Amino acid sequence: MSKAGSQTSRTRRRTVLRAGSLSLLGMNLSRLLQGHAAVVQQKTRPARAKACILLFMWGGPAHQDTWDLKPKAPAEIPGEFNPIATNVSGIEICEHFPLLAQRAHQLAIIRSMTHSDVNHTSATHYLLTGKPPLPGDLRKDWPHYGAVLSKLGYGRQPLPPFVSMRPKLNNDVPRFVEQSHGQSAGWLGPAWDPLTIDADPSTPDFRVGEMEPLVDITDPRMSHRQALLRSLEATLAATERNVQMQTMQGHYHRAFQLLESAVGRAAFDLNAEPDSVRDRYGRNPHGQSVLQARRLVERGVPLVTVFWPNDGIKNVSVYWDTHSRNFVDHRDRLMPVADQAFSALLDDLSQRGMLDDTLVIWTGEFGRTPRIGQVNSDAGAGRDGRDHWPNCFTSVLAGGGIQGGQVYGASDRHAAYPSQNPVLPIDLAATVYDLLGVPLDLQLTDNSGRPHIICPGTPLRQLYTAG
């Protein structure tokens, strides 16, 4: 190709990339929007849930300070907080979850989650996929639940089938955000990656990239740019026939579809919500992310992950990773926000008639050490902190076919190990897939053509509603 021809090609590429301001929050374009048509046809079983909102508490909440208090244990175990009664007889949770205590009739509290990984990033993979990560790069990871649903053709256009709310704030510590495994489609391939929203939805100018066409782009100009895209695809087809290019083409088409769709743009307009609703969730990054998740599943997105943000406050714990200031941060910074957002979501879904078919999961990647100041990882713990502890922790389920008002499993008297009904992440994953109608014997192939049973775990059907 001549120098002039090469320059023309580059110019045309830039024109298409600018069309409608396709870049979302600085994302790599190969992960802009996910292909939606099912590549494989699989028989699905009847689903109890149509959608799932996964509230992921990055860092690892202290289970013995939130959902599984041990007031009769030795003094170095229970710490400073007291249990309170809930609206279900016999179930107690922390005093700093007062709103959730009045909604325990909607919750299934699993107090016997367990695995053996003390590392944040690989343990995150375990909880988001049900499997420990494979050695190597992120493309060898097992796929996130949402990527599997995307692959199977769940959801409805024009919205992407798999969205991650992951607000990045000032002074954010990036290690969980940038390095955590299990957030993507892994070995399924980039076509099934999530639309990742890194903007802070609590800000007045929150926008998901450029969801509105530029003011000077009239309908004829948009059509002209689509024609340019088709021309570009034809030009590139002869030399770039590979999976990555096909994925990029799919992303371009989905981007144009979103830009032209009132449904797509409206889904991300939090200003359309009444102030009273936004206030109920909390005018903070997590609360507004949870509200955004409700708006997305309401419009047909089958899975939204809401990651807890790092608020960037100097000298406090990162996320829920309370190696020091465990009680101060749980009491003042973490639990009130989580209590408000989770309870508002339960109320909102109930009032809209959505809770019965929307599965809500509240979990972190692990718990915290039984003893205050106990060291269990390279990170250690201060005199007022708790270190990483994967041997026992709590996850909570609600809606989507789950019978509320129950506790499943139990920890020992020190909240150190399960004493009844241990639950592995693969069993939690099997429960998620089972409730969403994904066959438990489902096989998907990786990019090398090797088949994998996506989730050989045992679903916790003891938690399901009757029928």
| Predicted local confidence at residue 6, as pLDDT | 44
Give yes or no for a contact between 22 and 252, defined as CB atoms under 8 angstroms apart: yes
Residue 412 lies in a domain: yes
Is 14 a member of any domain? no
Highest average pLDDT, of 191-205, 355-369, 434-448, comes from 355-369
DSSP, res 14: H
State pLDDT tens for residues 85-113. 999 999 999 999 999 999 999 999 999 99
Of residues 234 and 152, more confidence is placed in: 152
What is the spatial distance between Cα 317 and Cα 322, in angstroms, rounded to a whole number?
5
In a domain, 313, yes or no: yes
pLDDT at residue 8 tops 70 = no
> Does any domain span residue 2?
no
Domain count, the chain: 1
Instruction: Find residue 360's DSSP bridge partners.
Output: 53, 398
Query: CA angle at residue 208 from 360 to 154, to 5 degrees?
Result: 45
pLDDT band of residue 381 (cuts 50, 70, 90) is very high
Rounded to an integer, what distance in angstroms lies between the CA atom of residue 102 and that of residue 105? 8
More confident residue, 185 or 257: 185
> Is 264:213 a contact under the CB 8 Å cutoff?
no
Q: Tell me the DSSP string of 338-371.
A: HHHHHHHHHHHHHHTT-GGGEEEEEE-S-EE-SS
Residue given tokens 């099912």 in the structure block: 38
Across 11-25, 38-52, 379-393, which has the greatest mean pLDDT?
A: 379-393
Higher pLDDT, 184 or 1: 184
Q: What is the pLDDT of residue 317?
A: 63
| 3-class secondary-structure state, position 98 | helix
The enclosing domain of 367 has a CATH number of 3.40.720.10
pLDDT in tens, 259-311: 556 677 789 999 999 999 999 999 999 999 999 999 999 999 999 999 998 76
pLDDT reported for residue 287: 97
Strand partners, 304: 53, 163
Write the pLDDT tens digit of every residue in 25-64.
333 333 334 333 334 444 456 899 999 999 999 999 999 9
**Cα 174 to Cα 170: distance, rounded to the nearest angstrom:** 11
Task: Specify if 77 maps to a domain.
Answer: yes
CB atoms under 10 Å from CB of 88, counted, come to: 19
- % of the chain exceeding 70 in pLDDT: 75
Average pLDDT over the chain, rounded to whole? 83
Mean pLDDT value across residues 127-147: 88
Q: Is residue 346 part of a domain?
A: yes
**216 — pLDDT class (breaks 50, 70, 90):** very low
Please check the confidence at residue 241 and state whether its pLDDT lies above 70: no
Segments forming the whole domain that contains residue 101: 41-208+268-463
Q: Which residues of 162-175 are buried (b: 16+ CB within 10 A; e: fewer)?
A: bbbbbbbeeebeee
